[in-house]
Amino acid sequence: QSVLTQPPSASGTPGQRVTISCSGSSSNIGSNYVYWYQQLPGTAPKLLIYRNNQRPSGVPDRFSGSKSGTSASLAISGLRSEDEADYYCAAWDDSLSGPIFGGGTKLTVL
């Protein structure tokens, strides 16, 4: 059971905007940065968002992150078929002294 809670699935049609939520607690999201990873089928994860809302070089600005209190969300605008993937949130947990991941959200582009 993951310490960070994500919906198991999400979906949208091309061009739509979808959001994926991530809920934690005061020992992780509430006091540390949130990160988001994209995992395409059969590949290694890729960092999409760091420090709550920053994008690494090369990540399109269609992807955005936000955080409020002990929750965070990833928004994807202008949805494309190639966005179909699993998305994971993560944050450092002070109680566990290490990063923890959400259970992942499988995004389907209809």
Partner 1 sequence: QVQLVQSGAEVKKPGASVKVSCKASGYTFTGYYMHWVRQAPGQGLEWMGRINPNSGGTNYAQKFQGRVTMTRDTSISTAYMELSRLRSDDTAVYYCARDLFKGFGSSQGLGYWGQGTLVTVSS
Are 3 and 25 spatial neighbours (Cβ–Cβ below 8 Å)?
A: yes
CA separation, residue 17 to residues 23, 35, 71 (Å)? 20, 20, 19
Site for partner 1 in 31-60 (CB under 8 A): 32-33, 35, 37, 44-47, 50-51, 56
Place of tokens 């600005």: 61
Q: Considering the rule CB under 8 A, would residue 107 count as an interface residue with partner 1?
A: no
Q: Considering the rule CB under 8 A, would residue 98 count as an interface residue with partner 1?
A: yes
Measuring CA to CA, which residue among 106, 108, 77, 80 is closest to residue 7?
106
Applying CB under 8 A, which part among 13-21, 22-30, 71-79, 95-103 lies near partner 1? 95-103
Residues that bind partner 1 in the complex, under the rule CB under 8 A = 2, 32-33, 35, 37, 44-47, 50-51, 56, 88, 90, 92, 96-104
